[in-house]
Amino acid sequence: MVRDGSTTDDLKKNSNGTGPYVIKSFQADAPRSVLQKNEKYWQSGKPQAPCLELSGVQDPVTRAAAIQSGDADILIAADATTLPTLKADSNIELLEAKGALLMSMVMMVDKPPFDNLKVRQAMKLIIDRPSMVQLVTLGFGVPGNDNTVPPTSPLAIRSEPIPQDIERAKKLLAEAGYGDGLTVDLWTGATDLVPGMLAMVQAYKEMASQAGITVNVQTAPSNSFWDDVYLKQPFVTSYWYTRHPVSSMSLAFRKDAQYNETHWYRDDFDALLDQAATTVGPAAAAELYGKAQEIIMTEGGQIVPVFASLVAAVRKGCTGYVPHIESRVMFQDIRCE
C-alpha cells in the first residue's frame, strides 16, 4: 500500500508505504543502507528488530566470509559454490525455498535463426537437464521444462525433465538448413546475474557443441546488462522468481507485456490466458494453463534448464527469517540476539 498519487519515479527515489521499516540512510551508490523500525507499523509487536543494516556484496566468497565471521547475520541468497562450506559451519543454518528461481536463456522468435521453429526445438533438446542442475546449483534445484511453471508445482504438466536428444537436435537443424552447423551469440553478464548463471552458460555451450551448435558467449558489464543488452539482443540469459502461472505467463508472453523477452506475439495465446484466468473451477483452470505450458514448451523461445532453490544462510541466534518461493524478503519477524 502506497500513498495515493504516487508515481513510479516517486517509489524508486523516496520512502513510501506501510512497511515494518523506514529508511534511515540510503544512497544508490553506497554499499550499505540502514533501515529503522517503523513505530507506526500496523501489526502490533512488529517488527522484532529495532533496525536493519543491508549490504550489497557481489562476490560470493566475500558474502560467505561475512556471515561466517559474524559481520553479517543473514545471507539472503547464498551462492551454490559456497553452500558446502556454509553447510559445514555449525554456527550457520541453511534454509531452502525449492524451485524459487527460474534460470533461462531466451530466444526472440522473430529474429533469425530463432524464427525457425526447428532451430528453437533443437536448442532445447541439447540439454542434459539433471546434469545441468548439479553443475549450476550443486543439487539445490530441480530441472526446468522450458516454461515458467516449476515441475514441482501441482500445476505442472510434467514432473520429469525433458530428456536430452542430440540426434533429434541434429536432425531438426539439418531440416532447418543448418546441417553443416549453427553459430549463435549468447549474451550474459560479465559476473553472475544470479548465482550459477555463468556456470549454466558454460554448461550449455559444451552441450550445444555435441549437436554442431557453436555458442559464442558474449558478456556485458553486469551493472548495465539490463539496460544495454536485455530485450535488445536476440539470445540472452534471464531469470524470473517463481509466480503463479496467471502472473508469470502474462508477464512473459502476452503481446503487450513489458517483459515479453521472446517476442511472443500471438492473439490465440492471449485468448487462452484470458480463458484460464477467468475460469472458476481450479481443475478446469489448471487444464488451460497446461495447454499454455505445452505450447510454450514445444513452440516458444524460452529455454529453462533449471529452477534453482533460494537458499538463505542464517547465523545461530537469529530467528524469524524464512526464504519465500516468490523471493519476498520478509523482515518483520527477524530477531537476532
Instruction: Give long-range contacts, CB 8 A cutoff, 24+ apart: 153-160.
Output: 153/99, 154/286, 155/244, 155/245, 155/286, 155/289, 155/290, 156/293, 157/290, 157/293, 157/294
The pTM (predicted TM-score) of the whole model is 0.81
Average pLDDT over residues 146-161: 93
Q: 49, 95, 99, 101: which is closest to 75 by C-alpha?
A: 95
Domains of the chain: 8-98+310-336 (3.40.190.10), 99-241+304-308 (3.10.105.10)
Residues 281-319 have pLDDT tens digits of 999 999 999 999 999 999 999 999 999 998 899 999 999
pLDDT of res. 1: 76
pLDDT of res. 314: 96
At 148, is the pLDDT very low, low, confident or very high (cuts 50, 70, 90)?
very high
- Cα separations (Å) of 13 from 7, 25, 27, 221? 10, 12, 10, 24
At 56, is the pLDDT very low, low, confident or very high (cuts 50, 70, 90)?
confident
Residues 73-88 have pLDDT tens digits of 999 988 888 999 999 9
315 vs 207: CA distance, rounded Å: 39
- Range ranked top by mean pLDDT from 73-77, 157-161, 162-166, 194-198: 162-166
CA of residue 288 relative to chain centroid, distance? 24
Say if residue 26's pLDDT is above 90: no
Q: Any alpha helices (H) in the chain, and if so which ranges? A: 8-13, 60-69, 83-87, 117-125, 129-137, 166-175, 197-209, 225-228, 245-253, 267-277, 282-299
